[in-house]
Chain A
Amino acid sequence: MKYLLLGLLGMAPFGFGHHSFAMFELTKDVTYEGTVMEYRWENPHTHIIVNVEPGAADPATVGTWDVEGGSTNIMGRQGWTRATFKAGDHVKVVAHPMKDGTKGASLFYAVMPDGKRLFHDIARPKTEGASASAQ
C-alpha cells in the first residue's frame, strides 16, 4: 500500500498547500462514469460535479459526486481548459473518494472520448514492473 502511494505520488510536482489530502482515501482508485452536472473551472480548486445514474457498473458510485481537482494553473499545465467539459457532457473520471463517506473525491484523471487521459497533476499510475515516472 505504501509503495502504491509512493508510486502514485512519487515525483508529482503537485502543490497541495491549501489543505491536507488526509480526508481522501488516496490508495483507492474509483471510476465514476456519468453526466457532468457542473464544471467549475476556478481557484483554489476546479470541481467537476458528476451524476452517476442507478444501474452503474459500480453501485457504490451511484449519486452526485463533487470531484475536486487542482488550481487552474496546475490543471492547465496538464491540458485542462475552462472548456474541457460543460454541463450535460458524458464523463468518466478516476478519483480517490472521501474517507467519511460523503460524496466527494480527489481527481486522479479523466478519460476523454478519444481514450486520452487528462491528469490532475504529473503523477502517473504505476504499471507492472515499471517505476513511477520521474519529472
Chain B
Amino acid sequence: MSLQHLWQMSYDSHTIDILRNSKYAIPVIQSFHLFGITLLLGSMVILNLRLLGIGLRQLPMAALSRQIWPWAIGGLLLAIASGFLVFVPDPARYAANYAFRTKMVALCVAVTFQFLIYRKVIRSGTAESRSTRNIVVACCSLVLWFLVGWAGRAIAFLG
C-alpha cells in the first residue's frame, strides 16, 4: 500500500469529512496543540534554566525533575494527539510540506534525546550543580524543542 493509498483513505472517509468540513474544528484543535506546546516548552524552560544553573537555583533539581516531568510529558502527548487530528483530514498536503517533514524528524530526535539521555541526567544525583555536561544537555534540549516549534511555524510560511 503506497502512501497515496493511505492518504486517499482519509479523503474517502465520511467520518473524517465531518472534521474536515467543520468550520471551527481545526482552529480549535490547533488551540489544544498550542496548550500542549505551552506546557511542554514551559516545562523545558523551567527544567533547563535549573540544569544550566542560571535560574530557579533555590529549587532542588530532584524535586523539579520529579514534579515537572509529568507535565512536560502530558503537554507532549496533548501536542501529538492534537497534531495528529490536524494532520489526518489533509495528509497529502502536510506530507509534501518540507517544513512539516523537518518538524517530524526534529520531533523524533527531540523525543529520543528526551527519554534516552535527558531523563537519565536530570534524575542522576549530578544534576544539582552546574557542569559542562549539564550545560550541553540543557542546550541540546532547548535547541531541539524550539527547533520543533519553529519548524511548525514554518509550515504556513515556507512550505
Contact = CB atoms under 8 A, between A and B. Distances in A.
Chains A and B touch each other in the complex, with CB atoms below 8 Å apart: yes
DSSP majority for the A interface? loop
Given A13-B98, A16-B93, A19-B27, A6 B158 contact: no
Interface stretch (B7-15, B39-47, B107-115, B128-136): B7-15
Nearest to A44: B156
Contact of B26 (A3, A11, A20): A20
Sorted nearest first, the 7 A-B pairs with minimum C-beta distance are: A17-B156, A20-B26, A15-B156, A13-B96, A2-B11, A15-B159, A15-B155
Given A5-B11, A13-B98, A20-B26, A71 B90 contact: no
B126 interface: no
30 contacts: A3-B8, A6-B7, A6-B8, A6-B11, A9-B90, A9-B93, A10-B4, A11-B92, A11-B96, A12-B92, A13-B96, A13-B98, A13-B159, A14-B96, A15-B99, A15-B155, A15-B157, A15-B159, A16-B90, A17-B152, A17-B153, A19-B26, A20-B23, A22-B21, A23-B23, A43-B157, A71-B157, A73-B158, A73-B159, A74-B158
B23 A22 contact: yes
A82 interface: no
Given A10-B92, A11-B96, A73 B12 contact: no
Contact of B93 (A12, A44, A135): A12
Interface string B117-159: 0000000000000000000000000000000000011111111
Contacts of A18: 156
B62 interface: no
Contacts of B96: 10-14, 122, 135
A22 to B, nearest CB: 5
A32 to B, nearest CB: 23
A78 to B, nearest CB: 10
B8 A2 contact: yes
B159 A20 contact: no
Interface in A18-39: 18-23
A53 B96 CA distance: 39
